[in-house]
Amino acid sequence: MKLTTLSVLALSATAINARFVEKHETDQVVLTSDSREDATKYLIELSPGETRLVTEEDKWDLKRQNINFMDITDTQSLGSYNIHTSKKRVFPEAPVHQSTLEPLLKTLSKSNMRAHLEKFTSFYTRYYKSSYGAQSSAWLLETVTDMVGAAGADKHGAHVKHFPHSWGQNSVIATIPGQSDKTVVIGAHQDSINLFLPAFLPAPGADDDGSGTVTILEALRVLLTDESVVQGNATNTIEFHWYSAEEGGLLGSQAIFSAYEKEGRDVRAMLQQDMTGYIQKTLDAGEPESVGVITDFVDPALTEFIKTVVTEYCDIPYVETKCGYACSDHASASKAGYPSAFVIESDFKYSDDKIHTQDDKIEYLSFDHMLQHARLTLGLVYELAFAELSSTHNTPPTHGQDTSPAPPLYLPPAPQTRTSPAPSRSSPCAPPPSPSSSSPTNPAPQTQPPHHYSPPPPRAPPQRPASQPPPTPPQTASPHPPTSVASPPPPSPSESAP
């Protein structure tokens, strides 16, 4: 049945119990009712050790209530490998590379970020189970690959890969090898969601998290103009991550950091950029424009260093704020035992309230503010790339309410079953348009052959100290099993976690 033939009445009658499934071969949306899939339960974690069994619809209901969670159905061992070997990481006291960074910071481009965000939001949705989400991921992979190639970094071992996931939208990882296997990770999530009928309604996701995606993309572009970085002479390896399925419960980042933990990857720092462009509520409240530095459920030492980077390289101040447990992908790194931090566009209470709707559009964003986040990203990754990131004696991580590192070994309690209230309304909607197949600067994503994740190969970089052992190639991670699509009730017009 063609979507254009559906009446508002028919849609309202079927939306509650039906599941929307895209047919990739035809321009149709088929309504099916699969009781087995509708009844699928997922194990989520709402706080350390607090778990619950929920349906897909329950997950969206929790998000509409601004309740954060991690879907740990397939990652219940996350954190168990590093718990006994976790060490306190030592970060620099202050930035020291001002003379190198100041010229680089001047080349960050708002117009580049706008062009990339216009393309990224042109996909009807970036919902992680949709064909559009797969296409937007392919475009992102191609864009990052072209960027690395244009800088000539691929000739020195840099590479870009898909990290495959069973739900269709793959994560993207760009790796720039350094003189050691110690790794600095910069992350953002690429998926978007409309919390009312996620698989069906448009979700441009300009701020959440298109803004973070293009912010770190622009920081990567400028970083690749530094010859020392490109030629592999940085002290540490650098990775940029664009995670799939953050909205589904941090699924993509959990898969990646679970693989890294099992492979023994030495991640020394991880920064998440999620929502970097909205400032209107801050200004309306009479508050100064600022960078929101999250202080709960993060690594305190890394967070303190980030504050010094904001002060040194940004033109606006920072404000300390909190977002709760599992509010973005840094939580996956933290749970795996890696020091993580999170910055956001403002004090959390003033963050964008248009997210998770079809109104999350570019027109509400400030590219001047996004430029400040790009300056922070570039400053931090460069400083950490050339820092001697040491460790102190073994100390098991704790997971308190404020500035806490990784959580303890996960031991799930007996799960509880929860039933979500039935949705009560629906709305008429237009048929999904075909996503844009090309852009002025990028070829169509469908023409790009798939790249798949493989751990960085061992390399013998120049000038490696004789006392330092060469890197050990990790093992390839296996993807998650598929999950199901559900049709949730309508969202509440309130603030939400990223």
Residues annotated as catalytic are 189, 208, 246-247, 274, 356
Closest by CA to 356, choosing from 260, 448, 494, is: 494
* Amino acid letter for position 326: A
By CB atoms closer than 10 A (0-12, 13-18, 19+), residue 24 is: exposed
Measure Cα distances from 207 to 36, 63, 120, 233, 498 in Å. 35, 17, 11, 34, 9
CB atoms under 10 Å from CB of 118, counted, come to 16
By CB atoms closer than 10 A (0-12, 13-18, 19+), residue 200 is: buried
For residue 198, give both structure tokens: 């996620």
On the CB side of 400, how many CA atoms lie within 13 Å of its CA?
A: 7
CA–CA dist 478, 349 (Å, integer): 38
CA–CA dist 487, 15 (Å, integer): 7
Give the DSSP H or E segment for 99: helix 98-105
In the sheet with 183-189, reading across from the earlier edge strand, the strands are 159-163, 171-176, 237-243, 183-189, 267-273, 340-344, 291-294, 318-321
Judged by DSSP in three states, 344 sits in strand
Check: CB of residue 5 under 8 Å from CB of residue 19.
Answer: no
DSSP of 371-401 = HHHHHHHHHHHHHHHTS---EEEE------S
CB atoms under 10 Å from CB of 188, counted, come to 28
Closest by CA to 330, choosing from 339, 321, 318, 322, is: 339
Q: Cis link prior to 209 (omega < 30° from 0)?
A: yes
For residue 293, give both structure tokens: 């530095």
For residue 319, give both structure tokens: 């404000």
CA–CA dist 213, 374 (Å, integer): 11
By CB atoms closer than 10 A (0-12, 13-18, 19+), residue 12 is: middle
Q: Which residues contact 364 (CB under 8 A, 6 or more apart)?
A: 206, 207, 277, 278, 280, 352, 354
Give the DSSP H or E segment for 32: strand 28-32
| DSSP tag of 439 | -
